[in-house]
Structure 1
Amino acid sequence: MTLTPLRTVVVSALALAAAFATPAGAADLTLTPAPAKAVRAEGAFKLSAATRIHVAKGDVEARGVANQLADLIRRSRGFRPAVVEGGPTAGAIVLTREGPSGEAYKLDVSPSGVTIAAAQRAGLFYGAMSLWQLATPDETKGPVAIPAAVIEDAPRFAWRGLMVDSARHYQSIATLKATLDAMAAHKLNTFHWHLVDDQGWRLEIKKYPKLTQVGAWRVEPGAARAYPKYGGFYTQDQVRDLVAYAAARNITIVPEIETPGHALAPIVAYPELGSAPPDASKMGDWGVFPWLYNTDDATFAFLDDVLNEVMDLFPSTFIHVGGDEAIKDQWKASPKIQAKIKELGLKDEHELQSWFIQRVGKTLEKRGRRLIGWDEILEGGLAPNATVMSWRGIDGAIAAAKAGHDTVLSPHPTLYLDNRQSASPDEPTGRGKVVSLKDVYAFDPAPAQLTADQRQHILGVQANVWTEHMQTDARMQAMAFPRAVALAERGWTPEGGADWSDFARRLPAEMARLKILGVAANTVPFEPQPTLSEGEGGKTRLALSTGLGLGEIRYTLDGKAPTTVSTPYADELDLPAGTTVKARSFLDGQALGRERSWTLTPTLLHTRLSAQLKLCTEKVPLTMVDDAPRAFERRAMMFVDILNPCWIWESADLTKGAILSVRASQIPFNFQVGADRDRIPLRAPATPGGELEVRAGCAGERLAAIPLGEATKNPGLSTITSRLPARRGKVDLCLSFTAKSVDPFWAIDRVTLTPAN
């Protein structure tokens, strides 16, 4: 990508947005992102094994796109159309260069044939992706009728990105390729690859082998310390292969090499690079670390060498240098660095970071590259051609654009896909704030605070998949998709074309396509979730809802799988104990998400998972995974505020007293939270192992103090049981643990509160 095409595409997209609107007649098209203009026509094109894809003789690029289209059709329909050069084109799919420029394309589908027209390869590719989507409305194999339509399309923004963090948790090349396939199918064109952080260095650098020999591996904390080291890295050959794979799908990979902070891993590998001695044991921690590169000439020589190898591998115009969350304590404490500030005539450490970033930027400029960094690089001044990625809300983007700098909007929390997607306890591990698919779709990447001229500096939009709590490839993909598809539409579709209801209508087709592409997308927000309470006559009252409220829920009570003709859920159900309820969500007659099943038992009625309890505070809420047992798939997930591990069972009925059973585990406190660690409330224990305290309200009377005893010797889940006294009326039970220190801390998995007989 270069500056001129970026801005040209933005302007052309805005022009299309003003000129075109998608008419109601195109409502049966399941094309995502929604195109700039789509007009339905009569009839359909029959795609079958006999269909041919035609390209002009000698057009190597068009033939490559045609083969990609044929391969995708084979994956989804089970047959592969032949690709031919020249010859008669009646009844065929034809790729022609007589079309719009850049990433724009025209797709004409009629009963007699299909034409994909674009001047450049990118446009041909996106036209092919649109045709494949229209040919893949579901997972059905065999021939398909593609609705006749004329589509004229171009992107709203030129940078349509997804960042994947491979530094915190390592993903396989196969998973990254599947992610690129899903990005390409939805016209995302920038893969920001976070390769370096405190927890690991993932990129092979030939001149500095210890970066991967040492810096790519860490010892996990807690019980996991007894397991093999965690880590991995990508060889330069693997990177070249992935870069080529992405380029064939019109995706530019932008690498990120963090400076000057988030640098513990390289400093562990080469301690002379640091401002203070490194502590390798902290590589298994999360949070904001104090280790920064020093400002010695030898350190810049190291960074120059690294960046030159990076630029040899990645042809992208932009190279990301981080620049975020650089705590300056070590710089403040270093006489050598304080002398450097004085020598350079700088005001403070913020200006030193600006000088640092600009010096790194000169290495990039020598090879015709452009520096991009997180919005902290604005502090202390910025090189004229530097680009700002705004993550602390949109203020950084606004400031950058007003100052004449190009910018990409990537704001926390809306576009930080490590936040959970619904309040369901079935959500994968991650941050506790709910950022739903609808929330992502509602984000407009063009701030109203900017003038039309200033908006020209908005290159585009990007969502970020930070993987601190995404320990597996499947969890990474589940957190990214389908929210990345919502982002794709907001980055591509003209401003006036955004329509949540229409986007939601297309979701069954989108989920089917993601499955075909090998992506483990999250279905939990679509699925029925139960709420149980005491019903009339000793029955159990069941209420069903979904995280997004889309479509309808249908259920059965006879053990059969729910279908589109099963009973629709309308209101709460009072059902006898032992009833098995099966439920599933449907949208326009198509299943959306998995079938769910519950057998109504007294234990189920009286049990709440930690995510179904109320947190006493929400300072840093996380869904965390236990550190034991060794088999990862057997580890429990627990919802907890790490700065105040405390839970509330609201409106507990203690009229007859109750038997309280709590399943909990002790987890290492491996969080770099600075002074906040000292503010975590600790109640002094009365027994050597501490107690589970139960109070009537968090500041109220203590109803029980249950010694943890032998549970303290168990690295996995333990069950703690006690009788609670009878008490009039309903009460909010507040559950917390006493402890001498915050490490380790206890977290609740589930609570069962059974009325006493």
Structure 2
Amino acid sequence: MTALRPLMLALAAASCLASPALAASTPALVPWPAAYAPQSGTFKLTAKTPIHVPAGDAEAKAVAQQLRDMLTRAGKPPLKIVEGGAVPAGAIALKRGDHTGEAYDLEISPAGVTIAAVDRKGLFYGAVTVWQLATNGPALPAASIQDAPRYAWRGFMLDSARHMQSVAEIKRLIDAMAAYKLNVLHWHLNDDQGWRLEIKAYPKLTSVGAWRTPKGADAWRPAPAKYEPYGGFYTQDQAREIVAYAAARNIMVVPEIELPGHATAAITAYPELGVTGKVPESGMSDWGVFPNLYNVDDATFAFLETVLDEVVDIFPAPYLHIGGDEAIKNQWQASPKIQAKIKDLGLENEDKLQSWFINRIAAHLATKGRRIVGWDEILEGGAQQSSIIMAWRGVDRAAEAARHGHDTILTAHPQFYMDSRQSLSANEPPGRSELSTLKGLYTFNELAEGMTPEQASHVIGVQANTFTEHQRTAKRVETMVFPRLTAVAELGWTQLARRDWNRYSHGLPVTLGQLDTLGVAHDGVPFEPEATLAPAGNRLSVSLASALGVGEIRYATDGKAPTATSPLYAEPLTLTDGAKLKARTFLNRQPLGGVRDIDVSTRALNTRVSSHLKFCGETVPLRMEADFPREGQRPVFMTGNYRPCWVWESADIAKGATLTARIGQTPFNFQLAGGRRIVDFNKPTTSPYGELVVRKRETSGPTCEGQPLAILPIDAAAAGKAGLSEITAKIPATAGVKDVCMTFNRPNRDMLWALDAVTIEPSR
């Protein structure tokens, strides 16, 4: 694919829709077109509306069938397709026009609709725009649209290595991508945790490398049952089916085969590929960064080339992603054989060896007509000029790649990482603790300050990524990805000067309704009201606000769900202890997110969930799931995975208090950098199952040091419970306390106790 440099500059310079009033009168189109001129009147779709295509134009007919199916799915009447002859009155007409590639013209008047494009891709995107306009209301607004994308690469990366998705579930994601004009599915098919693609020359990659022993509750079964291995793989026929399905929707599937790192699954299947020649001790069930790299023997390159030849045969895209990230080189450093190879090749260090390794693979792929894409680490030892750099560590990495003449794709962490949480709410799904909000992503500027026009021309696209360590179901994937992926779609398609948060956010009810029509789950939590309680005499003050600040909040105190006509929240409410308060966000009289049942009570006032506690200690904070139950909904904690520590700032314990902790378990299955991290933890003294230690925090550093206030033992019932447990202790009167910190002592490294919530009720 040749990168589409910024197109239609005159159109891009047109004024954007910055006025909220103007946004309110503008249809919800995502991504926003290059040029949109409203006209008078509307076009009404009826059961008699035909779709006209030129005679003998099979591509146009296929697009017409797709448009008919999309409209029918959206509740419109099934339309008849007419081929050849004069265009009937009141028809939707597809014709070949002047614009090439993905560009199209769309004319809508009360008399009919015309989609014009030279290429099938343009016809399809014009049809998508018609579908979107049809979902805005009972009729299409008359308008003249000239449209073309800003970037050639508008991507989404799906990780199927950590958790798999079915073929049907991937097709549903492809449908949603196509509905917003995304055109690249980057498919992450292998990693330390699993090999997911059938390779006929090496069957053990899937018979061994596609299966792992689950951790935590996934591995537990009542006797005499044994654990069920977790895993699976896609056959080559299934992969071809997905490729064809995507191609019919203008989506190119780019496979990723990770090397030289993230290779534990492959080395587990074929230990001779690794540096040690042995099955990795670490196993495949941990998350994180493993030290297992391929060796640099000719036999290993023969293996990789054979594998890649089969991959190339399945995926016709001119690109192949080779990973290249997070290759921890301590095994290479410790190997006399590897060190001798570095010397024989005249290389400076292990980074240069990685560059040599990747360039050798790139040269082989070039003979197959493939250009490599790699994460930005491949720059560190030097990369071939033709290599495309996927800049995940920030805009600066994209700028660095561009300065060296590399084409680059911006996929900056955490903004473009769909496994980052979307708000600070305790109701968000599990995932990374870093924040990537819908608004922050939509308003992100993908071009580094100071880039020259020549360097900016090397930015060929943007991409969102989802890594699935914490997304064990396809529904969870969708919930984390949407609606943020629609914002990425607009970043990839729409010129910066044409993007406008007011216009985009005003159309969110329509966009979310489209996702519902497609059967795609999406996260409503950032739209939902969050409550803050404060004492107000013998009553309670309740402040409401949503994370995104979009729409208006309506509330009810009669126990019923709020509607668009319920009282409008404008200032803090003063309510009695125990009042029944429900709240919901509305925009354009349509609900955004779900109804919040708000606990208006003194106990809620004195409670903080783990997401609202501070952290101390050496930790990597994550939103992690409990061990239990094996299937269905699990509690989610905000915790650290090495030495977790929670801090309640300015705790009121001057006269003593009762502390109640709601706790649960998560498995410890993490690696970092040089292998399984040395984890320092204290053994419990009051119970063999663990204990919660509460201290008066006397330092502001990274540790929880200070006077112990209470030790809460954990009993056998809590240790084996499928869910949450409560433990309680009295805190003695302690003057001068600002902060209270809490840590767990535990019997071993392979389990973690975590706080779900803490209540501190001061003595009076």
Q: TM-score, normalised by structure 2?
A: 0.94
Q: Secondary structure at the residue paired with 1:461?
A: strand
Give the 5 Å matches for 1:650-689: 650-674=649-673, 682-683=681-682, 685-687=684-686, 689=688
- From 716, 725, 731, the equivalent of 1:710 is 716
Unaligned runs of 5+ in 1: 139-143
Which of residues 142, 146, 150 is equivalent to 1:152? 146
Contact 1:21 1:36 in 2 (8 A): no
Q: Which has the higher helix share?
A: 1
Counterpart contact for 1:653–1:729, Cα < 8 Å: no
1:93 aligns with 2:92: yes
Q: Does residue 1:65 correspond to 2:63, yes or no?
A: yes
Deviation of 1:13 (Å): 4.5
Separation (CA, whole Å) in 2 of partners of 1:622 and 1:413: 13
**More divergent stretch after superposition (340-349 vs 183-192):** 340-349
TM-superposed CA distance for 1:381, in Å, is: 1.8
Distance change >3 Å, CA 582–CA 649, structure 1 → 2: same
Distance in 1 (alpha carbons) for counterparts of 2:743 and 2:664: 13
Distance 1:19 1:595 in 2: 40
Aligned to 1:10: 5
Q: In 2, distance between residues paired with 1:649 and 1:410? A: 35
* Letter of the 1:699 counterpart: E
Structure 2 SS opposite 1:69? helix
Letter in 1 for 2:286: D
Shift of 1:362: 1.7
Alignment match, 1:388: 389
Moved more, 635-644 or 67-76: 635-644
Q: 1:541 to 1:676 in 2, by over 3 A?
A: farther
- In the aligned structure 1, how far is the partner of 2:673 from the partner of 2:43? 62
Greater CA deviation, 714-723 or 418-427? Answer: 714-723
Q: Verify the 8 A CA contact 2:295 2:338 in the aligned structure 1.
A: yes
Q: SS at 1:175's partner residue? A: helix
Q: Is 1:136–2:135 an aligned residue pair? A: yes
Superposed, 1:160-239 pairs within 5 Å as 160-226=154-220, 227-239=227-239
* 2-structure distance, mates of 1:28, 1:449: 34
Cα shift at 1:45: 0.2
Name the counterpart of 2:434: 433
SS at match of 2:651: strand
Structure 2 letter corresponding to 1:588: N
Paired residues, number: 745
In structure 2, the CA distance between the partners of 1:152 and 1:557, relative to structure 1 (3 Å rule), is same
Give the distance between the partners of 1:644 and 1:504, measured in 2 at CA.
40
Q: CA RMSD in A?
A: 2.1
Where does structure 2 lack aligned partners over 5 or more consecutive residues? 221-226, 698-703
What is the identity, as a one-letter code, of the residue corresponding to 2:74? S
Partner amino acid for 1:494?
Answer: Q
Partner amino acid, structure 1, of 2:713: P
Q: Counterparts in 2 of 1:310-709, with a 5 A limit?
A: 310-537=311-538, 539-616=539-616, 619-633=619-633, 635-674=634-673, 682-683=681-682, 685-687=684-686, 689=688, 690-697=690-697, 698-709=704-715
Distance 1:21 1:629, change over 3 A: closer
SS state at 2:56 partner: coil
> Residues 20 and 37 of structure 1 are in contact (CA less than 8 Å); yes or no, is this contact kept in structure 2?
no
Displacement after TM superposition at 1:283 (Å): 0.8
Q: 1:246 to 1:292 in 2, by over 3 A?
A: same
Partner letter of residue 153 of structure 1? Answer: D
Task: Tell me the TM-score normalized by structure 1.
Answer: 0.94
Which segment is superposed worse, 542-551 or 222-231? 222-231
Which amino acid counterpart does residue 141 of structure 2 have in structure 1? P
> Quick one: structure 1 residues 685 and 561, their matched pair in 2 at CA, closer, same or farther if it must change by over 3 Å?
closer
Deviation at 1:314, TM superposition (A): 0.5
Paired residues of 2:693 and 2:744 also in contact (CA < 8 A): yes
Question: 1:333 and 1:558 mapped to 2: Cα distance?
Answer: 69
Alpha carbons of 1:469 and 1:81: their partners in 2 closer, same or farther (altered >3 Å)? same
Q: Distance in 2 between matches of 1:473 and 1:387?
A: 29
Q: Indicate how the Cα distance of structure 1 residues 105 and 617 shifts in structure 2: closer, same or farther if over 3 A, else same.
A: farther
Residue aligning to 1:141: none
3-state SS of 1:377 partner: helix
Q: Distance in 1 between matches of 2:399 and 2:552?
A: 41
> Is contact 2:17-2:500 (8 Å) kept?
no
Q: Is the 8 A contact 1:706 1:720 kept in 2?
A: yes
Aligned-partner residue type, residue 68 of structure 1: Q
CA separation in 2, counterparts of 1:655 and 1:612? 22
Query: Aligned to 1:122, what secondary structure does the other structure show?
Result: helix
**Matches of 2:674 and 2:351, distance apart in 1:** 21
Identical columns (%): 53
Q: Give the Cα separation in 1 of the matches to 2:608 and 2:229.
A: 35
Rounded to whole Å, the distance in 1 between the matches of 2:563 and 2:60 is: 43
Distance 1:348 1:599, change over 3 A: closer
For 1:628 and 1:174, the matched residues in 2 are separated by: 27
Q: Tell me, yes or no, if the aligned pair for 2:291 and 2:674 is still in contact at 8 Å.
A: no
Relative distance call for 1:80 and 1:678 in structure 2 (3 A) is closer
Q: Report the Cα offset of residue 23 of structure 1.
A: 9.6
CA shift, 1:382, in A, is: 1.4
After superposition, the C-alpha distances for 1:646-700 in whole angstroms (9 at most, x for unaligned) are: 1122333235432222122333321112479767564454345343111122433
AA aligned to 1:402 is: R
Q: Distance in 1 between matches of 2:328 and 2:348?
A: 17
Alignment match, 2:223: none
Q: How far apart are 1:447 and its partner, in Å?
A: 2.3
Match of 2:731 in 1: 724
